């Protein structure tokens, strides 16, 4: 398999800096199901809804000016929705305006968005500090806040965002997190972009809020396509991202097929797909894999 | 691996605990967590509503005067009293030991109420179950973690064993029961027994029809007896999802009918499932259709 590092991509026409606006709401997901097929198919274990369904609040993307809700995941990149939150794409030099509305009618808790990797003033930090922070870190139910961010020259890559309000502990445990994906000025967009967020949920270890094969995102690509994996962890544990049948090259030039990611750390890897078949991807911490942190990746022939 | 079959942990319990919910509506409330009211009683012009409540030892009850009259809340045995409560005033009292505690209004002595304090409580089931289909009962206990709890059912011939479970570290417990008919259930731990709650069991049938040409398909589902507003899920059996996978959701309309439209590139087995409000626990399952282009 031919592999390329995330930064080792061919030159493309330079895009001019843009202002990118996103509308994101915190909305109830009253019956989020970590395992809709109600199975750990590999081990043949039946999972009951009382084990896998719980009420939570999630980030949900809307069309311009809160027109109507739309899918969080980029087209053809995942069968998943709602967890993680919208993939916020930009390019180095861009400004981002992220309009956040708190529609938490389930718990009536405050929420916020706190972004890693980008430049902003304190009023767009989105973190609650008593007596110090403003409304950005404590967006009350029914209220809206606009976060003003800039993708600097050091912002290329993928980065986390998450709730950092007074209710961040419950929110993160319930899936209020997502990713920024920022391309370099001349970096081409991949054909497929897959988001893999490792996080614990209750007694399970989840990828994008789902546990066990078939429930976790089913990623697909076609031989010849450039695929990018955006990998991140939330919670208090480290994870080791592994894809079967594939390798990629690290900045020091060595090939690897497993990489560690800790809480709020991220990395993006790319390769040009050459290997058709159905492959597993998973966290290689064995107890995590056995508790649900595993999924499938399907590569079709051209 | 099998240990994941245990109930969800305290993290999700915290997620699911809305503030100041009535005691038995909030199955994941931690009885030891705080003195936040676990149950509320409204004081009206001439009555307490509800006049009788069941709470767990350690629960705090809050009375709120929702009338224009001045009232009070005073224990019959004079163990505690609110004093005068004018409109919108409230009074809270924590009940630490199992007992039946009658109380009254000193200003209007005909107004009476009672708090029954237990060591074990079962939450009244919010939705009907189905015969032969698993139903989860939720409860709380003011007993140490690991205490064994027996679930008993009475469908007319006295209480019989229906399940066993243990108390979690947050005081909650759950038990899967397999009802065959409407019955009363109670939870028993040693010498302590909860008040009985009733689980209504309905045998509902789900009929489906499919139609369409090419990739555009329509699936209609009807539930009898009529169940307006209940959730139904269209599932396809998809290899990449290792089983039945929800692809569309709807609520039954006033005719107990739901219609789904979908576009499919391939042909798949399909079925419709009537579920509890969690959108996942099955109450009735349709026959299997095959939908999509041949």
Give the CATH number for residue B149: 2.60.40.10
Taking residues A280-289, what's their average pLDDT?
Answer: 98
Q: What sign for the dihedral angle of Cα A52, A53, A59, A60?
A: positive
Q: State the average pLDDT for chain B.
A: 88
Does any domain span residue B12? no
| pLDDT at residue B35 in the model | 55
| pLDDT at residue B44 in the model | 96
Under an 8 A CB cutoff, do B241 and A218 touch? yes
Distance CA(A232)–CA(A197), nearest Å, equals 5
Overall number of domains in chain B: 3
Taking residues B203-217, what's their average pLDDT?
Answer: 91
Under an 8 A CB cutoff, do B240 and A53 touch? no
| pLDDT at residue B17 in the model | 40
Judge whether residue B19 has pLDDT over 80.
no
Judge whether residue A224 has pLDDT over 90.
yes
* B contacts of A292 (beta carbons < 8 Å): 4
Judge whether residue B3 has pLDDT over 60.
no
Q: Is B67 exposed, middle or buried (0-12, 13-18, 19+ CB in 10 A)?
A: middle
ipTM given for this complex: 0.88
Judge whether residue B198 has pLDDT over 80.
yes
| pLDDT at residue B38 in the model | 78
| pLDDT at residue A15 in the model | 52
Please check whether residues B95 and B129 belong to one and the same domain.
Answer: no
Domain boundary, last residue among B149, B173, B199: B199
DSSP 8-state class, residue B171:
S
Please check whether residues B212 and B187 belong to one and the same domain.
Answer: no
Which among B12, B14, B21, B175 is the top mutation candidate for probing chain A, defined by the most A β-carbons within 10 Å of its own β-carbon? B12
Under an 8 A CB cutoff, do B7 and A213 touch? no
Under an 8 A CB cutoff, do B240 and A214 touch? yes
Quickly state the pLDDT bin for B73 (edges 50, 70, 90).
very high
DSSP 8-state class, residue B239:
G
Quickly state the pLDDT bin for B251 (edges 50, 70, 90).
very high
- Report pLDDT digits (tens) over B45-66: 999 999 999 999 999 999 999 9
Taking residues B146-153, what's their average pLDDT?
Answer: 97
DSSP 8-state class, residue B31:
T
Domain boundary, last residue among B199, B219, B238: B199
Give me the CATH number covering residue B100: 2.60.40.420
Overall number of domains in chain A: 1
Under an 8 A CB cutoff, do A45 and B5 touch? yes
Strand B172-177 vs strand B135-141: parallel, antiparallel, or unpaired?
antiparallel
- Report pLDDT digits (tens) over A114-129: 999 999 999 999 999 9
Six-digit token pair at A265? 């750390």
| pLDDT at residue A173 in the model | 97
Judge whether residue B92 has pLDDT over 80.
yes
Quickly state the pLDDT bin for A80 (edges 50, 70, 90).
confident
Helix and strand numbers (H, E) in chain B are 1, 24
| pLDDT at residue A78 in the model | 79
Judge whether residue A53 has pLDDT over 50.
yes
- Report which secondary-structure segment, H or E, holds A168: helix A168-173
Taking residues B244-267, what's their average pLDDT?
Answer: 95
Contact criterion met (CB below 8 Å) for A167 and A201: no
Quickly state the pLDDT bin for B294 (edges 50, 70, 90).
confident
Taking residues B256-274, what's their average pLDDT?
Answer: 95
Residue B86's domain spans which residues?
31-117
DSSP 8-state class, residue A64:
G
Taking residues A35-59, what's their average pLDDT?
Answer: 96
Distance CA(B79)–CA(B62), nearest Å, equals 16
| pLDDT at residue B32 in the model | 37
Nearest residue to A26 via CA among A62, A1, A80: A62
Contact with chain A for residue B243, Cβ under 8 A = yes
Taking residues A134-141, what's their average pLDDT?
Answer: 97
Please check whether residues B149 and B194 belong to one and the same domain.
Answer: yes
Measure in Å the smallest separation between the Cα of A178 and chain B Cα atoms.
19
Does any domain span residue B77? yes
Q: What sign for the dihedral angle of Cα B12, A37, B251, B130?
A: negative
Give me the CATH number covering residue A250: 2.60.40.420
| pLDDT at residue B36 in the model | 65
Quickly state the pLDDT bin for A81 (edges 50, 70, 90).
confident
* A contacts of B8 (beta carbons < 8 Å): 51, 54, 202-203
| pLDDT at residue A74 in the model | 84
Kindly report the backbone phi and psi dihedral angles of residue B221, in degrees, each rounded to the nearest multiple of 5, phi listed first.
-130, 135
Under an 8 A CB cutoff, do A48 and B16 touch? no
Does any domain span residue B7? no
Give me the CATH number covering residue B220: 2.60.40.2470
Name the interface residues of A facing B (CB cutoff 8 Å): 31, 33, 36-41, 43, 45, 47-56, 106-108, 170, 173-174, 200-204, 213-215, 218, 290-292, 296, 298
Quote the distance between the C-alpha of residue A148 and its chain's center.
Answer: 20
Measure in Å the smallest separation between the Cα of B240 and chain A Cα atoms.
6
Judge whether residue A199 has pLDDT over 80.
yes
Judge whether residue B289 has pLDDT over 70.
yes
Distance CA(A62)–CA(A136), nearest Å, equals 19
Residue A122's domain spans which residues?
3-300
Measure in Å the smallest separation between the Cα of A12 and chain B Cα atoms.
35
Which among A49, A82, A213 is the top mutation candidate for probing chain B, defined by the most B β-carbons within 10 Å of its own β-carbon? A49
């Amino acid at each position: 398999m031919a592999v390329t590092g995330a930064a080792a991509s061919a030159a493309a026409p330079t895009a001019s800096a843009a202002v990118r606006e996103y509308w994101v709401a915190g909305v109830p997901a009253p019956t989020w199901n970590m395992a809709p097929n109600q199975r750990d198919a590999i081990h043949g274990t039946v999972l009951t809804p009382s084990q896998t369904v719980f009420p939570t609040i999630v980030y949900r993307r809307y069309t311009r000016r809160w027109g109507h809700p739309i899918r969080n995941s980029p087209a053809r990149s995942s069968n998943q929705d709602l967890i993680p939150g919208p993939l916020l794409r930009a390019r180095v030099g861009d400004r981002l305006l992220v309009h956040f509305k708190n529609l938490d009618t389930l718990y009536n808790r405050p929420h916020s968005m706190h972004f890693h990797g980008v430049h902003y003033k304190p009023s767009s930090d989105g973190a609650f500090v008593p007596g110090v922070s403003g409304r950005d870190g404590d967006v009350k139910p029914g209220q809206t806040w606009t976060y003003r961010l800039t993708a600097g020259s050091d912002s290329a890559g993928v980065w986390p965002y998450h709730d950092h309000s007074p209710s961040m502990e419950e929110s993160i445990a319930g899936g209020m997190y997502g990713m920024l994906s920022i391309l370099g000025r001349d970096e081409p967009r991949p054909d497929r972009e897959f988001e893999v967020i490792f996080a614990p949920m209750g007694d399970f270890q989840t990828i994008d809020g789902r546990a066990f094969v078939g429930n976790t995102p089913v990623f697909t690509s076609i031989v010849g396509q450039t695929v990018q994996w955006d990998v991140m962890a939330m919670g208090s544990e480290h994870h080791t991202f592994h894809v079967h049948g594939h390798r990629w090259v690290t900045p020091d030039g060595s090939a690897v097929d497993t990489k560690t990611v800790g809480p709020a750390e991220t990395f993006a890897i790319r390769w040009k797909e050459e290997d058709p078949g159905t492959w597993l991807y998973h966290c290689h911490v064995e107890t995590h894999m056995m508790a649900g942190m595993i999924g499938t990746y399907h590569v079709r022939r051209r | 691996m099998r240990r994941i079959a245990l109930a969800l942990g305290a993290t999700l319990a915290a997620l699911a605990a809305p503030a100041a919910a009535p005691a038995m509506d909030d199955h994941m409330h931690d009885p030891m967590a705080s003195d936040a009211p676990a149950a509320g009683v409204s004081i009206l012009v001439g009555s307490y509503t509800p006049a009788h409540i069941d709470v767990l030892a350690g629960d705090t009850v809050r009375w709120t005067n929702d009338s224009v009259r001045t009232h009070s809340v005073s224990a019959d045995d004079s163990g505690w009293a609110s004093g005068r409560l004018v409109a919108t005033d409230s009074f809270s009292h924590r009940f630490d030991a199992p007992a039946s505690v009658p109380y009254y209004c000193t200003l209007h002595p005909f107004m009476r109420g009672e708090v029954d304090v237990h060591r074990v409580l079962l939450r009244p089931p919010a939705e009907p179950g189905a015969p032969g289909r698993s139903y989860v009962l939720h409860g709380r206990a003011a007993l140490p973690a690991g205490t064994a709890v027996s679930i008993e059912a009475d469908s007319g011939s006295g209480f019989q064993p229906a399940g066993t479970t243990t108390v979690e570290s947050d005081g909650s417990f759950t038990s899967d029961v397999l009802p065959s008919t409407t019955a009363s259930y109670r939870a028993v731990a040693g010498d302590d027994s909860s008040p009985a709650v009733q689980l209504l069991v309905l045998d509902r049938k789900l009929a489906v029809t499919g139609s369409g040409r090419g990739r555009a398909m329509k699936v209609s589902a009807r539930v009898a007896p009529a169940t307006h507003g209940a959730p139904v899920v269209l599932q396809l059996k998809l290899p990449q999802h290792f089983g039945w996978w929800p692809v569309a959701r709807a609520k039954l309309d006033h005719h107990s009918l739901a219609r789904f439209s979908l576009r499919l590139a391939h042909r798949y087995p399909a079925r419709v499932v009537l579920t509890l409000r969690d959108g996942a626990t099955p109450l009735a399952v349709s026959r299997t259709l095959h939908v999509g282009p041949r």
